[in-house]
Amino acid sequence: MAEQKTIHFKIRRQDGPDKPSRWEEFDIPYREKLNVISCLMEIQKNPVTSAGQKTTPVVWECNCLEEVCGACTMNINGQGKQACSALIDQLAQPIVLEPLTKFPLVRDLMVDRQIMFENLKKVHAWIPIDGTYNLGSGPRMPEVKRQWAYELSKCMTCGCCMEACPQVNYRSKFIGPAAISQVRLFNAHPTGEMNKHERLEPLLDEGGIADCGNSQNCVRACPKDIPLTTNIADLNRETNKFALDRWLRK
Amino acid sequence: MSTTQKPYHFLIRRVHSLLGLVPIGIFLMFHMVLNLTALGGAELYNRIIHTMQSFPGIFIIELLIIFIPIALHAVYGTWVVYTGQSNILRYKYARNWFYIIQRISGLYTVLFVIIHVYLLRFGEANFAALQQFLSQPLGLFFYALGVIFAVFSFHEWTMGFCHYLGFDDWTPFSESMVVFIGCSVRRFIRDWAI
Ligand code: HEM
Ligand code: SF4
Ligand code: SF4
Ligand code: FES
């Protein structure tokens, strides 16, 4: 690859939730094997735009720097990605950075993904094991199943799937594919299975599984290759059975 | 956290799906097969239409299994379309195109169905009327698009429906719908040639 002198960035800035947004452009000296975070750090050290104007450092979030926490997710050239694993050498320039659009903005590239955690609470995405006495050990999980479930457990609540999903937006209450997929994970667990109904029930709600429009964007957007649409299809079947059963027993 | 259970949401969505699939879908297929008889010439086609129209109670049947389901489906479907927000400019996946096209085709289909019904059901339905309409390029375009969109809608939604039953992707049924589109296109070329 021909050596590039600089890396050109176009970043959407916004000082706060109700402030107007603006574009700022930056040029970073090229080095090999940079990622978007390391470039943002360069900007932080020297917050001067391409036009030579001094500005405030760009605000963003990150934690793990190895694509497991999801905190650094932002729109990079129009699509949701992790800034820490987005390698400059693989991106078309100018590199356009924007905050995710499906979550309330905090500042610049930082958004508040709390709604995703609320959705996980809604669908009871955990396994209750507390009792007033020792409940003993749970049933064993077959190794093949554990390996399969591990793939689903890789979800880092990053929001790429929410960003790509046309059914998640300010007009809809759809909880999105990630939370639905977690229902499958926890219902597949031999102990979690005992509370299956607590997770299926909220999926029948407004904003639940029926609000998926089957565009199948989520599965392509997920950085962890979680088979989201397969999980949704499976839970469609499960919720159909569950709803029918509940109705017939009334 | 407690969830506020809106017990009918799931049911409404599933009934909407079923309305699209069973009465409307079966009707559409029936209608297409009927139309294929036009290949047998004007006389056969007119005779079949006449037989259909002289069934006793045909109006009630039409109202019950065609008109009401389509109306309900279209009204709620339009709401569903409103709750979506396309992002095709950023995510140019093939499936995302289908998502938006199926919504556009749904909306177009309502328009098409209204005009189509107005012209033919309450107007005069015979071979000559159709032939005349279809021999205008605009008329042909309107019809061809209408049918392709209606069938496309149906094909897409059917795949969606399979998804709702828990099947992941392409099914032999959806394949057969592609064949259907082929048939309808052929039919138009044929009609136009007449
Ligand atoms: C009149 C305008 C129409 C609109 C606005 C419309 C819209 C929709 C929408 C948005 C869905 C998806 C529901 C969901 O995601 O939960 C749907 C489902 C369906 N539609 Fe329509 N539609 C229309 C007409 C038709 C017509 C004419 C047909 C038949 C040829 C049809 C067949 C279906 C079928 C089979 C389904 C069920 C499968 C599924 O739920 O994915 N629709 N429709
Ligand atoms: S398949 Fe469903 S959940 Fe996934 S992106 Fe499409 S509408 Fe959203
Ligand atoms: S399912 Fe994938 S895209 Fe969605 S939040 Fe989890 S890791 Fe991110
Ligand atoms: S910093 Fe954790 S995913 Fe990027």
Radius of gyration (C-alpha) of chain A in whole angstroms: 21
What distance in Å separates residue A152's CA from the closest CA in chain B?
Answer: 17
Residue B4 confidence (pLDDT): 44
Question: What pLDDT shows up at residue B3?
Answer: 40
Q: State which amino acid sits at residue A121.
A: K
Note the pLDDT of residue B16.
87
Q: So what's the pLDDT on residue B171? A: 39
Distance B7 CA to ligand 1 centre (A): 22
CB contact under 8 A, B14 and A210: yes
**Distance between CA atoms of B164 and B158, rounded to whole angstroms?**
10
Q: Looking at chain A, which residue has its C-alpha nearest residue B17?
A: A210
Q: Which atom of ligand 1 lies nearest, measured to the CA of B77?
A: 7
A11 token code pair: 């970043």
Amino acid at B101: I
**Residues A206, B9: C-beta atoms closer than 8 Å:** yes
Q: Would the pLDDT of B191 be above 90? A: no
Give the residue from A227, A79, A217, A162 showing the smallest Cα distance to B96: A217
Q: Is A235 in the pocket of ligand 4 (CB under 6 A)?
A: no
pLDDT at residue A4 tops 90? no
For residues A192 and B3, give the distance between their C-alpha atoms in angstroms, rounded to a whole number. Answer: 19
B94 touches chain A (CB under 8 A): no
Residues 6+ apart with CB under 8 A from A231: A152, A177, A180, A181, A184
Residue-level pLDDT at B34: 73
Mean pLDDT over B9-38 rounds to 79
Tell whether A114 lies on the interface with B, counting CB pairs under 8 A: no
Helix or strand or coil: residue A37? helix
The finding on whether A74 has its CB within 6 A of some atom of ligand 4 is no
Instruction: Tell me the pairing of strands A6-14 and A95-98.
Output: parallel
Smallest Cα–Cα separation from A220: which of A169, A163, A174?
A: A163
User: Which mutation among A209, A214, A220, A236 tests ligand 2's pocket best, with the greatest number of atoms within 8 A of CB?
Assistant: A214
- Give the percent of chain B with pLDDT over 90: 1
Lowest pLDDT segment from B38-52, B126-140, B162-176:
B162-176
Give the three-state DSSP class for A5: coil
Greater model confidence, B162 or A48: A48
Quick one: angle between helices B26-36 and B172-193, nearest 10?
40
Residues A170-220: tens digit of each pLDDT = 999 999 999 999 999 999 999 999 999 999 999 998 999 999 988 899 999
Q: Give the Cα separation of A157 and A154 in Å (integer).
A: 9
Distance CA A230, CA A152 (A): 11
ipTM score here? 0.80
How far apart are alpha carbons A237 and B161 in whole angstroms?
Answer: 11
Q: Whose CA is nearest to atom 6 of ligand 2?
A: A215
SS3 A22: strand
CA dihedral of residues B134, B138, B143, B149 (deg, nearest 10): 160
Ranges of H-type helices in chain B: 8-19, 26-36, 42-53, 58-61, 68-83, 94-120, 127-134, 137-165, 172-193
**What ligand has the least distance to the C-alpha of A209?**
2
Round to whole Å and give the CA distance between B143 and B141.
Answer: 5
Specify the residue with its C-alpha closest to ligand 3, atom 6.
Answer: A155
Residue type, position A203, single letter: L
Q: Tens digits of per-residue pLDDT, A47-78?
A: 999 999 999 999 999 999 999 999 999 999 99
> Is residue A191 within 8 Å of residue A127, measured between CB atoms?
yes
The class that CATH gives domain B9-193 is mainly alpha
Nearest CB neighbour to A79, from listed B3, B91, B95: B91
Cβ within 8 Å of residue B78, ≥6 positions away? B106, B107, B110
Instruction: Locate the ligand 4 atom nearest the alpha carbon of residue A65 and give its number.
Output: 1
C-alpha to C-alpha distance for A54 and A101, rounded to whole angstroms: 27
Two tokens, residue B42: 């004007």
B110 CB less than 6 Å from ligand 1? Answer: yes
pLDDT at site B60: 81
| Minimal C-alpha gap between A6 and chain B (Å) | 26
Residue scoring higher pLDDT (A85 or B25): A85
Quick one: pLDDT at residue B174?
A: 45
3-state secondary structure of A184: helix
In this structure, are residues A112 and A17 in contact, taking their beta carbons and an 8 Å threshold? Answer: no
The answer to whether the CB of B142 falls within 8 A of the CB of B112 is yes
B5/B28 Cα distance (integer angstroms): 36
The 10s digit of each residue's pLDDT in A29-40 is 999 999 999 999
- Residue of A119, A203, A206 to mutate when probing chain B, most B C-beta within 10 A: A206
Span of A134-148, A228-242, B143-157, B179-193 with lowest mean pLDDT: B179-193
* Residues whose CB falls within 8 Å of the CB of residue B62, separated by 6 or more in sequence, listed in order: none
pLDDT of B192: 45
State if residue A70 touches ligand 4 by the CB under 6 angstroms criterion: yes
- Does residue B190 carry a pLDDT above 50? no
Is the C-beta atom of B177 inside 6 A of ligand 1? no
pTM above threshold 0.90 = no
Higher pLDDT, B157 or A176: A176
Question: Which amino acid is present at A30?
Answer: Y
A23 forms beta bridges with: A12
pLDDT band at B140 (very low <50, low <70, confident <90, very high): low
- List the domain boundaries for chain B: 9-193
- pLDDT confidence band for B127 (50 / 70 / 90): low
In the prediction, which pLDDT does B175 show?
Answer: 43
Share of chain A above pLDDT 70, in %: 98
Q: What is the 3-state secondary structure (H, E, C) of A79-111?
A: EEEECCCCEHHHCCCCEEEECCCCCCEEECCEE
Ligand 3 close to Cβ of residue A176 (< 6 A): no
pLDDT bracket for residue A2 (50, 70, 90): low
What residues have CB less than 8 Å from B161, skipping those under 6 apart?
B17, B20, B21
Q: Nearest-CA distance from A76 to chain B in Å?
A: 11
Spatial distance between the Cα atoms of A214 and A174, rounded to a whole number of angstroms = 13
Q: Which of A121-125, A163-167, B145-149, B172-176 has the lowest mean pLDDT?
A: B172-176
Distance from CA of residue B39 to its chain's centroid? 21
Average pLDDT of the segment spanning B150-170: 56
Nearest CA in chain A to B7: A205
Q: Is residue B186 pLDDT above 50, yes or no?
A: no
